[in-house]
């Protein structure tokens, strides 16, 4: 799926001008006049980035950002503002924005930032799909296996796990072998890194 | 080296022979010995024979030479004789000339003599004329002598003429009544004559007059009944020489008696006066006490501007004493040099009939500090209505004025800050309104640049792009227009208001500034003017702006005084306010430009003030314009009446 650059600005001319500028760089653009319209159209599986105007009537840029975060939707956000200041920029970046640009924007700079944001999005998506696979595998473990895995990744030996769970070390060894196999981990280190994104 | 000379003649045995002489150095036996070898060598024979032949010829030649010499000598003698002759000839000639000139001189002397003789003759004639005149004079003198004798005997005054040696030269017949005189006493000293009245000082007075040459008068009496005025004056001859004194005695008995009576009367009066005087003195002390207690400065001067009164307040304020100015016009030194003319004018107006004049000027304290004093001047007249004294009552308003000034400064600063704040707000609003279209334009332009870089050129896209840019520019213009309308509409909330009250309050605000520049702000208000619709702070701002401009215009034109008149009038169905100043004015050519921002014309302070003023007035549905007029600036504005 080709990435889409979402443009949200209440000013029609600005919207149109941004679309035109981005299209000259052969980018796919989808423009929305306000936050709700964009939120309605956006889906988690749509790769891309968001050019978000800060000052809008009804729902401002921060609120759109907050709504996305609340829904667990992650898309790189580049904020655009008519007259920004440092506190505003700090707040935006703290809330996860990747960039904060002041209008008027230099074309080359904007395109460069957009490309970077798209690359970031791709990276995120890659990470996310990997995490999802790990979680699916984690879901296939039995409850005993999950207990064993949790203790193992926190550095306990088989004997300690056996004593902890009140089962024989031999049984623990069997569970560990199953866990390694089901999770698709080649060694202990790999399992530890997987545990970071699946054990709550 | 060797020296060799030939053909030298030497005498040897009675003959002359020719020899050759050669000299050369020779080495000696000793190293430092230096010798010379001298060789005389006869010339060969042939030469010797020739020398003998020559001998004869030489004798002849000698003879000839001698003769020639003699001839030459004679010739020279002759020459000098001729020259002597010539010189004596010239001398003779010169003598001749001298004789001739002598002759001429003699001739002229002769002529002079002739003239002298003629002069002598005329002198003679003149002398005979003078002689006849002298005779006439003598006759006249005799006549006047007779006249005088008669005059002297006819006057009743006893008069004696005394010589320098105090001898009697002449006396009038009436003198015999007062001195024991007879005709033969002429020539006798006055001391020898007894007087019939008491006068021990007579002799001394005569001496004094002769010495000082000033007349001397003294009253003398006879038995205290008859009084005489004895007067001694120096006797001056026609050529201003003193040749004695004139002693005259006039009977003043009647006068004397009157004087005595008067003296009695005066003494009586004085006694009565002194009784009243005590009361008068008391009142004077009372007034003095009041004058010296009041805080106001009181200066009283007479018509010659001499100080009559300078109260304690004056003393305290200036540091000078009354005694330093009493009876003198030097109090004017208290006034700074550039204000003295003004004070003099005020005093002249008071002297020429005005009764009360308010005036302000500085006085300089003893330590050099100037103080601003507000004077209320009036005059005191005598019974005839003539101005006798000018009374100035002053108050030191230095601090008051300073406070006024500070208050004004604060006010102006506040007004300025307010304007600045308004401008700030407007600028922010405008910036926001303009930023959207400008950002869009910039982005379109960037897109356009990207499109231009692409091949093939997307002409239709570019066209749309440029159209958008143009549209956005129009949108920016629209934003400005919208803003202006907002300024006009949103900021004014007109209510019925009194223009005269605004005029009075602005005058109060600007008066201190105007006064320091010698400018009077005069109000000429229509008391019947109905209220107008407006926001009074805005109308005040406009009027303040016009007044400030007028004051600046007068000052910038280098004028040290002037006036500004503010009028309110009903003109048709509008209220008109006019500000008329005595500054340079604005001619027709400039009238159109004064409302342009930052106009080149400086005199009327035309930055943006007038433009803002015009906007404010137009927002009220009125009009503000300049009337082309020079000299004298005229600005008008009209406002609609309240419904």
Asked whether the beta carbons of residue B450 and residue A110 sit closer than 8 angstroms, the reply is no
pLDDT in tens, B374-401: 998 988 888 888 888 899 999 888 888 8
| Domain termination site, one of B90, B114, B147 | B147
Question: Within B453-535, where are the H helices?
Answer: 459-490, 499-516
CA pair distance B356, B350, nearest whole angstrom: 7
Asked whether the beta carbons of residue B443 and residue A14 sit closer than 8 angstroms, the reply is yes
Same domain as A81, residue A48: yes
Asked whether the beta carbons of residue A17 and residue B449 sit closer than 8 angstroms, the reply is no
Same domain as A161, residue A107: no
Same domain as B366, residue B326: yes
Whole domain around residue A52: which residue ranges? 4-134
Same domain as B530, residue B598: yes
pLDDT at B154: 77
What is the C-alpha end-to-end distance of chain A, expressed in Å?
A: 32
Chain A residues inside the 8 Å CB shell of B443? 14, 17-18, 20-21, 103-105, 107
| Domain termination site, one of A82, A111, A134 | A134
- What is the side-by-side order of every strand in the sheet holding B242-251? B168-171, B158-162, B242-251, B226-236, B216-222
Same domain as A167, residue A87: no
CB-CB contact of A82 with A55 (8 Å): yes
Is residue B606 scored above 50 in pLDDT? no
Chain B residues inside the 8 Å CB shell of A25? 450
pLDDT in tens, B15-24: 788 888 888 8
pLDDT at B608: 54
Distance of residue A36 Cα from the nearest chain B Cα, in angstroms: 21
pLDDT at B411: 58
Chain A residues inside the 8 Å CB shell of B454? 24
Is residue B643 scored above 80 in pLDDT? yes
CA pair distance B181, B197, nearest whole angstrom: 14
Same domain as A79, residue A129: yes
Same domain as A120, residue A66: yes
Is residue B600 scored above 50 in pLDDT? no
Domain count, chain A: 2
CA pair distance A116, A126, nearest whole angstrom: 15
Asked whether residue B34 is assigned to any structural domain, the reply reads no
Closest CB from A13, A83, A107 relative to B435 = A83
Domain count, chain B: 5
Mean pLDDT, range B595-617, rounded to an integer: 60
Q: What is the DSSP letter of B505?
A: H
**H-helix or E-strand containing B235?**
strand B226-236
CA pair distance A37, B639, nearest whole angstrom: 52
* Three-class SS state of B232: strand
In this prediction, residue B69 has a pLDDT band, given cuts at 50, 70 and 90, of very high
pLDDT at B88: 94
What's the CATH code of the domain at B300?
Answer: 3.30.450.20
CA pair distance B404, B398, nearest whole angstrom: 10
Q: Which of B631, B516, B638, B526 is nearest to B581 (CA)?
A: B631
Pick out chain A residues at pLDDT < 50. none
Chain A residues inside the 8 Å CB shell of B439? 11, 14, 82, 103-105
Same domain as A145, residue A101: no
| Domain termination site, one of A88, A113, A134 | A134
What's the CATH code of the domain at A111?
Answer: 3.40.50.2300
Same domain as A122, residue A57: yes
HSE, CB side, 13 Å, CA atoms: give it for residue B404: 15
Range list of β-strands (E), B535-631 = 562-571, 574-581, 623-627
pLDDT at B101: 94
pLDDT in tens, B121-145: 999 999 999 999 999 999 999 998 8
Distance of residue A114 Cα from the nearest chain B Cα, in angstroms: 15
pLDDT at B489: 40
Q: What are phi and psi of B404, to 5 degrees?
A: -60, -45
Distance of residue B636 Cα from the nearest chain A Cα, in angstroms: 43
| Domain termination site, one of A83, A110, A134 | A134
Distance of residue B476 Cα from the nearest chain A Cα, in angstroms: 12
Same domain as A151, residue A63: no
Is residue B449 scored above 60 in pLDDT? yes
Asked whether the beta carbons of residue A82 and residue B449 sit closer than 8 angstroms, the reply is no
Q: What are phi and psi of B34, to 5 degrees?
A: -125, 125
**H-helix or E-strand containing B554?**
helix B536-556
Whole domain around residue B330: which residue ranges? 294-396
Chain B residues inside the 8 Å CB shell of A16? 440, 468
Mean pLDDT, range B485-501, rounded to an integer: 66
Same domain as B419, residue B362: no
| Domain termination site, one of B123, B147, B171 | B147
Mean pLDDT, range B32-48, rounded to an integer: 79
Q: Concatenated DSSP letters for A161-185?
A: HHHHHTS-HHHHHHHHHHHHHHHT-
More confident residue, B51 or B232: B232
Same domain as B502, residue B636: yes
């Amino acid at each position: 799926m080709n990435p889409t650059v979402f443009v949200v600005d209440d000013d029609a001319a600005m919207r149109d001008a941004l679309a035109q500028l981005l299209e000259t760089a052969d980018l796919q653009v989808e423009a929305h006049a306000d936050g709700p319209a964009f939120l309605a159209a956006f889906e988690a599986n749509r790769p891309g980035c968001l050019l978000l105007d800060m000052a809008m009537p009804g729902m401002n840029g921060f609120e759109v950002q907050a709504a996305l975060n609340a829904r667990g939707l992650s898309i790189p956000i580049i904020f655009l503002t008519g007259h920004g200041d440092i506190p505003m920029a700090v707040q935006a970046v703290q809330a996860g924005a990747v960039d904060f640009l002041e209008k008027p924007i230099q074309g080359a700079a904007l395109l460069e930032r957009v490309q970077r944001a798209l690359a970031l999005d791709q990276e995120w998506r890659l990470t996310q799909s990997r995490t999802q696979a790990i979680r699916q595998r984690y879901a296939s473990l039995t409850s005993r296996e999950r207990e064993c895995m949790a203790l193992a990744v926190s550095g306990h030996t088989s004997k300690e796990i056996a004593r902890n769970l009140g089962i024989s070390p031999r049984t623990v060894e069997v569970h560990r072998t199953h866990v390694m196999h089901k999770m698709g981990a080649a060694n202990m280190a790999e399992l530890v890194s997987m545990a970071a994104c699946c054990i709550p | 080296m060797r020296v060799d000379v030939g053909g030298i003649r030497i005498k040897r045995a009675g003959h002359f022979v020719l020899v050759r002489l050669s000299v050369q150095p020779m080495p000696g036996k000793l190293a430092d010995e230096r010798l010379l070898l001298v060789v005389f060598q006869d010339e060969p024979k042939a030469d010797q024979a020739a020398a003998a032949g020559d001998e004869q010829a030489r004798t002849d030649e000698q003879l000839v030479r001698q003769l020639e010499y003699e001839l030459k000598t004679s010739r020279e003698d002759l020459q000098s004789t001729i020259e002597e002759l010539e010189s004596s000839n010239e001398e003779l000639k010169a003598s001749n000339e001298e004789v001739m000139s002598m002759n001429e001189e003699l001739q002229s002397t002769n002529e002079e003599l002739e003239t002298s003789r003629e002069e002598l003759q005329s002198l003679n004639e003149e002398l005979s004329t003078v002689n006849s005149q002298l005779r006439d004079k003598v006759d006249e003198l005799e006549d006047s002598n007779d006249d005088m004798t008669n005059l002297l005997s006819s006057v009743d005054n006893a008069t004696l003429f005394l010589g320098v040696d105090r001898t009697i030269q002449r006396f009038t017949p009436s003198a015999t009544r007062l001195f024991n005189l007879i005709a033969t006493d002429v020539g006798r000293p006055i001391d020898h004559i007894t007087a019939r009245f008491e006068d021990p000082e007579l002799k001394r007075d005569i001496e004094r007059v002769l010495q000082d040459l000033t007349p001397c008068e003294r009253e003398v009496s006879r038995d205290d009944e008859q009084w005489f005025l004895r007067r001694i004056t120096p006797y001056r001859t026609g050529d201003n020489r003193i040749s004695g004194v004139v002693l005259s005695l006039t009977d003043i008995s009647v006068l004397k008696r009157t004087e005595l009576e008067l003296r009695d009367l005066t003494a009586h009066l004085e006694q009565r006066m002194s009784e009243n005087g005590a009361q008068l003195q008391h009142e004077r002390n009372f007034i003095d006490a009041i004058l010296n207690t009041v805080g106001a400065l009181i200066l009283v001067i007479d018509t010659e501007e001499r100080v009559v009164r300078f109260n304690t307040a004056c003393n305290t304020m200036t540091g000078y004493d009354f005694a330093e100015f009493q009876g003198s016009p030097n109090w004017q030194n208290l006034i700074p040099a550039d204000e003295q003319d003004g004070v003099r004018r005020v005093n002249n107006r008071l002297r020429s009939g005005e009764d009360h004049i308010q005036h302000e000027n500085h006085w300089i304290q003893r330590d050099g500090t100037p103080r601003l004093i507000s004077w209320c001047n009036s005059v005191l007249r005598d019974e005839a209505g003539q101005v006798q004294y000018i009374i100035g009552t002053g108050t030191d308003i230095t601090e008051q004025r300073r406070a006024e000034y500070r208050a004004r400064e604060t006010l102006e600063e506040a007004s300025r800050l307010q304007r600045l704040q308004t401008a700030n707000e407007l600028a922010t609003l405008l910036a926001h309104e303009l930023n959207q279209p400008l950002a869009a334009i910039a982005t379109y332009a960037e897109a356009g640049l990207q499109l231009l870089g692409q091949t093939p050129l997307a002409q239709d896209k570019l066209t749309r792009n440029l159209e958008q840019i143009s549209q956005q520019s129009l949108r920016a213009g629209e934003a400005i227009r919208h803003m202006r309308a907002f300024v006009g509409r949103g900021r004014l909330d007109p209510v019925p208001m009194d223009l005269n009250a605004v005029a009075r309050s602005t005058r109060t605000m600007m008066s201190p500034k105007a006064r320091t520049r010698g400018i009077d702000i005069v109000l000429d208000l229509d008391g019947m003017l109905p209220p107008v619709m407006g926001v009074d702070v805005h109308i005040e701002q406009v009027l303040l702006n016009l007044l400030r401009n007028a004051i600046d215009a007068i000052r910038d034109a280098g004028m040290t005084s002037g006036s500004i008149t503010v009028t309110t009038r009903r003109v048709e169905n509008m209220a008109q306010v006019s500000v008329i100043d005595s500054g340079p004015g604005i001619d027709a050519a400039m009238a159109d430009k004064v409302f342009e921002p930052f106009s080149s014309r400086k005199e009327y302070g035309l930055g943006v003030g007038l433009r803002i003023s015009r906007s404010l007035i137009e927002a009220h549905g009125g009009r503000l314009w300049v009337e082309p007029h020079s000299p004298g600036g005229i600005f008008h504005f009209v406002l609609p009446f309240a419904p």
